[in-house]
Amino acid sequence: MDFSLNQDQQDIREAVLKHCSQFPDEYWLEKDRSGEFPFEFHKSMAEAGWLGVAMPEAVGGAGLGITEAAVMMQAVAESGGGMTAASAIHGPVFGLEPVTLFGTEEQQKRMIPPILSGEEKMCFAVTEPNTGLDTTSLMTRAEKVPGGYRVNGEKIWITNAHVADRMLLIARTTPLEEVKKKTEGLTLFYCKIDRKSVEHRLIPKMGRHAVGSNMLFITDLFIPEEDRIGEEGQGFKILLQGLNPERVLLGAEATGLGRVAIRKASKYAQERVVFGRPIGQNQGIQHPLAKAWMQVEAASLMVFKAATLFDKGLECGTEANAAKYLAAEAGFEACQTAVMSMGGMGYAQEYHVERYLREVMIPRIAPVSPHQIMNYIAERVLELPRSY
Ligand SMILES: Cc1cc2nc3c(=O)[nH]c(=O)nc-3n(C[C@H](O)[C@H](O)[C@H](O)COP(=O)(O)OP(=O)(O)OC[C@H]3O[C@@H](n4cnc5c(N)ncnc54)[C@H](O)[C@@H]3O)c2cc1C
């Protein structure tokens, strides 16, 4: 049992923090105000080779594990970039895992390098307005036509769909009434977003304004056969393979955000003098920050436990779910404590923590809600009966 980062992982952390220091707090504040995608940041991370940290060397990646990807994403969020920086590059870092695991060699060579180089952007189109977390009931339909599929349906909350060139899309190829299990008959595609057939509408939302999320209206989108990932009808099983690494990375991002929030608040509490002494000399300020620090660091341990299990090829569903839950809740507590520790200035944009508080709601809600994680632990770990 070793709880420390090895030298290579420590080097990744330091290099990423150094790289991200080119993008100071003011950059992220300005992006949040303008709502403009952080193109410069995305490009610089691609050019420095970071997007391929966990992708195979054969397709231009570094061939490292989810542990290294988690080290990197934690540092990205912790640099002050928060969820805006993390979500700008989150897709390329893990999103093409289904292509590496189930794609043909031709697909891997065609699909992955343009994403790692930053030439193309991608998004992840799973959630639907009428079915939500009940993913296997999704209603987007892909009908077989000569040479490929014709797709019709709606998706919601699709992050980066407005700037993306391609999407990883799940759709039903066999109607629900004709399958034995709801998990069957769903198919995964990685396809071009043909804007003539895919209309997007940005969703006005609470935070992370520079990285938009969209409603998608898909009408008669033609997807060629060669863009189907894996076998027809196996899409849900394929998608499941990517869920654990995604939870690990979101957990890493949430703890990074928690860390930077605590750091900002502690610095402010050392400097702000009221009643003739720094506010940080009061235990009423110290203790909540100390508690938030302990919660964030404990959650970070669960994140790296899940990452280590995944990289060793061991079962990690429980730990990955627990890590995402603990990290998001600890990150939220840290951001909220930071705002409250700084009084009025905690609420001012120029002190940044109000932005973190708005952003930390994202890893709490997505890609799976805290309720669903508790359902998972109750059923799978505690062996309690399914409640729904
Ligand atoms: C900023 C943001 C970005 C996102 N990006 C993407 C993206 O890029 N791609 C994508 O596909 N999706 C994305 N999502 C969608 C996200 O994954 C979903 O919002 C999330 O999975 C919850 O689904 P829902 O909103 O449909 O909630 P619903 O399924 O409508 O559930 C609503 C609430 O009811 C609770 N609930 C439902 N059933 C139960 C039950 N049985 N027991 C207990 N509680 C229950 C849920 O936990 C939840 O809190 C994003 C969401 C946000 C907010």
Q: Domain holding 104: CATH number?
A: 1.10.540.10
Asked, for residue 64, whether it belongs to a domain, the answer is yes
**Which residue's C-alpha comes closest to atom 35 of ligand 1?**
371
Top mutation candidate among 87, 124, 157, 249 for ligand 1, by most atoms within 8 Å of CB: 157
Q: Clarify whether residues 111 and 126 are in a common domain.
A: no
In the prediction, which pLDDT does 82 show? 98
Chain CA centroid to CA 346, Å:
26
Output the six-digit token pair for 219.
């009408």
Q: Does 285 lie in the same domain as 223?
A: no
* 342: containing domain: 240-380
Q: Say how many domains are in the chain.
A: 3
The atom number, within ligand 1, closest to the CA of 161 reads: 8
pLDDT of residue 1: 84
pLDDT along the chain (388 residues), means of 10: 94 98 98 98 97 94 97 98 97 91 96 96 97 95 98 98 98 96 97 98 98 98 98 96 94 98 98 98 98 98 97 96 98 98 98 98 97 98 96
Instruction: Determine the Cα–Cα distance for residues 73 and 324; give it in Å rounded to an integer.
Output: 14
What burial class does residue 318 get, using C-beta atoms within 10 Å of its C-beta: 0-12 exposed, 13-18 middle, 19+ buried? middle
- Please say which residue of 116, 148, 182 terminates a domain: 116
Q: What span, in angstroms and rounded, lies between the C-alpha atoms of 74 and 253?
A: 5
Nearest ligand 1 atom to the CA of 127 is 11
Q: Check if the beta carbon of residue 150 is closer than 8 Å to that of residue 220.
A: yes
Q: Are residues 103 and 126 in the same domain?
A: no
Beta bridge partners of residue 217, listed in sequence order? 154, 199
Question: In terms of domains, do 77 and 148 share one?
Answer: no
* CATH number (domain holding residue 139): 2.40.110.10
* Domain boundary residue, one of 116, 147, 164: 116
**Inside any domain, residue 78:** yes
- Determine the residue of 83, 93, 133, 168 to mutate for testing ligand 1's pocket, defined as the one with the most ligand atoms within 8 A of the Cβ atom: 133
Q: Are residues 244 and 367 in the same domain?
A: yes
CB-ligand 1 contact for 213 (6 Å cutoff): yes
Give the span between the Cα atoms of 327 and 316, in whole angstroms.
16
Annotate 92-138 with DSSP letters as a single string. Answer: HHHTTHHHHHHS-HHHHHHHHHHHHTTSS-EEEE---TTTTT-GGG-
Distance CA 86, CA 97 (A): 17
Q: Using a 6 Å cutoff on CB, does residue 214 contact ligand 1?
A: no
Does 286 lie in the same domain as 338? yes
Task: Identify whether residues 214 and 291 lie together within a single domain.
Answer: no
- 321 and 305 in a single domain? The answer is yes
Q: What is the pLDDT of residue 5?
A: 96
Amino acid code (one letter) for 306: A
User: What integer pLDDT is reported at residue 241 of this predicted model?
Assistant: 87
Ligand 1 pocket check for 296: Cβ under 6 Å: no
Q: Report the nearest atom of ligand 1 relative to the CA of 159.
A: 8
Q: Does residue 385 sit within a domain?
A: no
Q: Is 244 in the pocket of ligand 1 (CB under 6 A)?
A: no
Is 195 found in the same domain as 110?
no
For the Cβ of 132 lying below 6 angstroms from any atom of ligand 1, the answer is yes
Pair (16, 110) in one structural domain:
yes
Model pLDDT, residue 2: 86
Q: Is the CB of 158 under 6 A from ligand 1?
A: yes
The whole-number pLDDT of residue 300 equals: 98
Do 247 and 372 reside in the same domain of the chain?
A: yes
Does 101 share its domain with 155?
no
